[in-house]
Copies of this chain bind each other. A is one copy, B any other.
Amino acid sequence: MRADAVRSRRRILDAAREVFLERGLDAPLDLIVRRAGVGPATLYRRYPDREALVRDLTGDLLTRLESAAETAAAVDDDAFAAVRRFVHAAADLRMGAAILVLLEGLVVDEELVLIRTRAANTVETLIQAAHETGRLRRDVGMGDLVLLSIRLSRPLPGGLDRLDPDGSLLHRHLDLALDGLTAASSDEPAATAGPGVPLTFADLITAAARPTTAG
């Protein structure tokens, strides 16, 4: 693959992630083209249709996500610290794009499902370990963490993103929120949230699966 082609692909993928997050998966490709600073032909040449683009973007993000999970598991001794690291990394990748895109029902691709499963397993292991150390609330599951990461890292409308040009506010808010997910110790009055049911990754997938076959 030629060097300039690689560059274009990266630009398009980055732009697509932002635009899809801001405007939804059916945003005009035109916007992506403009944000990427490439000509329309460059996009259409590589991706014959919208789905091809979505597929490539998903694969890209999932791969990076999985490697983030592995890094987190390898670097931190403490399981909760590893979870924390992973959530931050996921937010940096704007995992929301991967998830929403992945689950919009477009992807039946076996290879992607494989990557997804592998990433999910790695993270699940991390979370179980954190549960066992007692630092992570038992009623907080992977679904909760994923949702948290999606919500806090999603681009905001109305220029509010200017509040956080370098992402430091995002990470600060993530840290604060993560503190709310720690298990209450016996004498800690802070945790006022009642007990609940952990949200699993499978819950997310089920929810996002288009009700195509239903009815």
- Category for how many chain A residues contact B: 35 or more
In the complex with contacts A154-B151, A190-B182, A159-B22 CB distance below 8 A:
no
Chain B residues lying within 8 Å of A203, measured Cβ to Cβ, are 163
Chain B residues lying within 8 Å of A184, measured Cβ to Cβ, are 190
The SS class assigned to the A binding surface is: helix
In the complex with contacts A151-B152, A172-B196, A104-B180 CB distance below 8 A:
no
Can you name the residue of chain B whose Cβ is closest to the Cβ of A151?
B151
In the complex with contacts A140-B176, A176-B140, A180-B176, A163-B194 CB distance below 8 A:
no
A163 partner, pick from B179, B196, B204, beta carbons under 8 A = B204
Q: Taking A176-B181, A182-B190 as given, write out 17 further A-B residue pairs in contact, using a Cβ cutoff of 8 Å, ordered by the A residue number.
A: A22-B24, A23-B23, A84-B192, A100-B156, A147-B156, A147-B173, A148-B177, A159-B210, A163-B199, A163-B204, A169-B199, A175-B180, A176-B180, A178-B193, A179-B191, A185-B188, A188-B190
